[in-house]
Amino acid sequence: MKYFSDLINTKVIHIADNKTLGRLTDILLFKDTNKICAIIASKENFVYKNRLILKDDILAITKDSIYVKSPGIKYTKVIPIKDDVISYVNGIEKKKVLTKKGEVLGLVRNSAFDFEAGELVEFEIGTTFTDDLLNGRKRLVLKDTNHPGSPLIVDEAEILDKEKGLIKMLKKSKIT
């Protein structure tokens, strides 16, 4: 399982010639299944800016690199996205997460992807930067949600609190 925050700006390398195609800037998902469709690697140069690399072309993901077997499709401008596909960066990140009763749980701050299964599996939900630091973010397992389209609606799902490291640290040090 890899978090988007760990993947963003990771080098995408074509395995055949060991050339860097760009850096990961987005992940595309099928709206109805949460399955990964493709990744987008971006590189600034005179000819093209973005490459669309299908999920099936991803061979391995390491700490520093994503290795692919195909150089992908080059685009000089914005990559056209079909109606059944959603961009993580433009369509899911920072979206409101609501209960079925309409209560706001927070915003999607990060997400976990399982590239072996090829799907989005978990959201990290937070409210504000300060609250995230003091209380931690909440984890929401995706099976508890509908599809990742606008706004995310959840059942009275079990939302798991992340470790509240800062609070625990302050309590242990007994700072008054």
Decide: residue 147, CB within 10 A, 0-12 exposed, 13-18 middle, 19+ buried: middle
Q: Please tell me whether the overall predicted TM-score, pTM, comes out greater than 0.85 for this model.
A: no
Question: 43: helix, coil or strand?
Answer: coil
Rounded to the nearest integer, the mean pLDDT of the chain is: 79
Longest dimension (CA), the chain: 59
- Encode pLDDT of 19-46 as tens digits: 999 999 999 998 888 899 999 999 876 6
Q: What is the assigned CATH class of domain 88-173?
A: mainly beta
Q: What is the CATH number of domain 2-87?
A: 2.30.30.240
How close are the terminal C-alpha atoms of the chain, in Å? 39
Backbone angle region of 26, left / alpha / beta, with phi > 0 → left and psi within -120 to 50 → alpha:
beta
Which runs of E-coded beta strand occur in the chain?
Answer: 2-3, 11-14, 19-30, 36-42, 50-54, 58-61, 65-68, 73-75, 85-87, 96-99, 104-114, 119-126, 138-141, 152-154, 160-161
- Domain locations in the chain as residue ranges: 2-87, 88-173
Decide: residue 55, CB within 10 A, 0-12 exposed, 13-18 middle, 19+ buried: middle
Q: What are phi and psi of 84, to 5 degrees?
A: -90, 5
Q: Which amino acid is at 36?
A: I
Q: Residue 158: is its pLDDT beyond 60? A: no
Query: Are both 2-87 and 88-173 of the same fold?
Result: yes
- pLDDT value of residue 38: 93
CA nearest 79: which of 109, 111, 52?
52
Strand pairing of 65-68 and 11-14?
Answer: parallel
Q: Residue 150: is its pLDDT beyond 50? A: no
- Encode pLDDT of 130-142 as tens digits: 888 888 888 888 7
